[in-house]
Amino acid sequence: MLASHDRFPYSPIVERPQFDWPGGSRLAVHLCLNLEHFAYNTGGGISYSPGIPHPNTYNWGWREYGNRVGVWRIIALCDKLGIPLSVLLNSECYAHCPQVIDALRKRGDEILGHGRTNSEQQNNFSEAEERELIREVTEAIAHHEGKPPAGWLSPGVNPSNVTPDLLQEAGYRYILDWPMDDQPVWINTRGGRLLSIPYPHEVNDIPAIALHDATASEFADIIIDNFDEMLEQSVEQPLVYGISIHAFLVGQPYRLRQFRRAMEHILRHRDRIWLTTTGAIAQHYIGLPAQDA
């Protein structure tokens, strides 16, 4: 037998119970904004200039553009179009760029845990060290936002074998680390269970643009084509469509223009979808009659 994670069984989407999202919608759409801060002179994060020794100012500056400029363009766009954000937050951003989080808080966006910094990945930690990391991030967000986060995405989307257990024990309700479905899936933990909310691996600017060299217009077309197809598919099964962006990529002016085109396309169908946050999706699903997917 092949090794298994033993977190959830196989479940074909065509055999699951039917349900609706609020307002009778069949397609829930969420936009995740990754807000990250990196240590200088130690690396971490995808490299735009591989092989250059530290201090790699060029690469660090590429990422920092998102915090200084790109994120503000994205906030303005989402304000204009009325798009809520699920903010995947490195807690080090509270000290580094607090004005950004203030603006997101004022908008009412959801804040999720995303580690301290993407310069470190919890899969490299011992269980005790990872528990302390989760505690530190959770307390920082609770202090600044008035409540702890309900959801978590591991830095680098690289959880350890015990991440779901530690998150459930710390009071988290859902996780975004498992991109294996278009519906929420219950994950078993040693102390109970945790809900997996679909997080995009494909409709995500890191793999699409930085790894697979998609152009700005191609990434916009990916967003549109994925939306159109899922809207049709959602007649048969209720679905979750996630889009993930990073301010240093989509916040570049020429990409922002194409991203605006894609979001305007989605919003033309706003009466047929539930445009929401990951936390609202989790809350709604948890409140449904028992779902065994």
Residue 194 contacts residue 217 (beta carbons within 8 Å): no
Average pLDDT over residues 192-210: 96
Please tell me the total count of domains within the chain.
Answer: 1
Determine, yes or no, domain membership for 7: no
pLDDT category of residue 125 using cuts at 50, 70 and 90: very high
Strand partners, 30: 242, 276
Determine, yes or no, domain membership for 227: yes
* DSSP label of 52: P
pLDDT of residue 289: 86
Sign for the pseudo-dihedral over CA of 215, 218, 224, 226 = negative
Whether the pLDDT of residue 51 is over 70: the answer is no
pLDDT of residue 272: 97
**What integer best gives the mean pLDDT of the chain?**
94
Whether the pLDDT of residue 293 is over 60: the answer is no
Contacts with 187 (C-beta within 8 Å, 6 or more apart), sequence order? 7, 8, 164, 175, 178, 193, 194, 195, 196
CATH number at residue 265: 3.20.20.370
Average pLDDT over residues 13-18: 95
Determine, yes or no, domain membership for 275: yes
Determine, yes or no, domain membership for 155: yes
How far CA 37 is from CA of 43, 45, 116, in Å, comes to: 11, 10, 8
Average pLDDT over residues 84-113: 98
C-alpha 44/C-alpha 190 separation (Å) is: 31
pLDDT category of residue 48 using cuts at 50, 70 and 90: low
Determine, yes or no, domain membership for 293: no
Sign for the pseudo-dihedral over CA of 242, 245, 251, 254 = negative
pLDDT of residue 52: 65
C-alpha 159/C-alpha 177 separation (Å) is: 7
pLDDT category of residue 56 using cuts at 50, 70 and 90: confident
Determine, yes or no, domain membership for 224: yes
Q: Output the pTM of the full model.
A: 0.95
| Count of CB atoms situated within 10 Å of the CB of 254 | 10
Determine, yes or no, domain membership for 1: no
The identity of residue 57, as a single letter, is: T
Give φ, ψ of 148 to 5 degrees. -75, 155
Angle at 278 between CA 276 and CA 281, to 5 degrees: 70
